[in-house]
């Protein structure tokens, strides 16, 4: 499983490829968008862990895209700016950007900033006994264990990762494609029926609480406590 899925938005193909190469080398999965409008279309149907966003782009510029994203999402965003564009950096941070990178940048700086922003957005659970609770369900993150009303239940790795993704997106309607891409990965060759099969078995293992995973007709599923 990748360290996270990053949407790279930049109108320069060489810059997108460079960022993608650096990130994939460090274990991240990447999706590219050549302008703000393409990024908006992707965000309607996909879930990302981080967005790297160039300020100067055609159609929809980076600042406008940031404002549109912040209307409905708190996904971490790192701005890419030219060396002299201090106003863009300050304004972007005020609008809700989490950090910025000045071009040109080194691979080490890029990875360090991405790692730091994701750490702040998703704090690591350091205590083996610490759990996250969602109604009758408790997850021991470090031990990868799930308890139902205090009783340990036996889940496969994918069932665990699927449940964890649901819990981290409580109340959100998620398409089968989103679940497939975020739990199995973009390069998974199986079909979306895999998601249905795993949700069926996960519901059975959650027993009377299986209805916490609700079917959203025409979209997919959501987890509602």
Q: Which of 135, 59, 64, 130 is closest to 96 using CA atoms?
A: 64
Please indicate, yes or no, if residue 128 is contained in any of the structural domains: no
Q: Please write the tens of the pLDDT for every residue from 150-180.
A: 899 988 888 888 999 898 888 888 888 888 8
The phi and psi torsions of 61 (rounded to 5 degrees) equal -75, 170
The domain in which residue 214 lies consists of 155-223
Measure the CA–CA gap between 103 and 81, rounded to whole angstroms. 6
pTM of the model as a whole: 0.57
Residues 114 and 162 in one domain: no
Residues 103 and 16 in one domain: yes
Q: Please write the tens of the pLDDT for every residue from 202-211.
A: 999 999 999 9
Residues 86 and 191 in one domain: no
Please indicate, yes or no, if residue 140 is contained in any of the structural domains: no
Give the mean pLDDT of the chain.
84
Report whether 159 contacts 210 (CB < 8 A): no
Split into its structural domains, the chain has a count of: 2
Give 119's contacts (C-beta < 8 A, 6+ positions apart): none
């Amino acid at each position: 499983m990748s360290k996270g899925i990053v949407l790279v938005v930049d109108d320069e193909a060489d810059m997108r490829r460079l960022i993608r190469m650096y990130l994939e080398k460090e274990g991240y999965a990447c999706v590219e968008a050549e302008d703000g409008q393409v990024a908006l279309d992707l965000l309607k149907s996909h879930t990302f862990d981080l967005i790297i966003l160039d300020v100067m782009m055609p159609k929809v510029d980076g600042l406008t895209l940031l404002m549109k994203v912040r209307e409905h999402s708190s996904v971490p965003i790192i701005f890419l700016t030219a060396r002299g564009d201090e106003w863009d950096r300050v304004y972007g941070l005020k609008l809700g950007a989490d950090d910025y990178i000045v071009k040109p940048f080194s691979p080490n700086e890029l990875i360090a900033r991405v790692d730091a922003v994701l750490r702040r957005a998703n704090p690591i659970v350091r205590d083996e006994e610490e759990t996250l609770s969602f109604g009758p369900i408790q997850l021991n993150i470090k031990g990868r264990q799930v308890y139902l009303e205090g009783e340990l239940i036996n889940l496969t790795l994918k069932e665990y990762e699927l449940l964890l993704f649901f819990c981290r997106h409580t109340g959100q309607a998620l398409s089968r494609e989103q679940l497939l891409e975020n739990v199995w990965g973009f390069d998974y060759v199986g079909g979306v029926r895999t998601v249905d099969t795993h949700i069926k078995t996960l519901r059975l293992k959650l027993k009377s609480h299986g209805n916490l995973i609700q079917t959203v007709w025409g979209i997919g599923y959501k987890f509602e406590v």
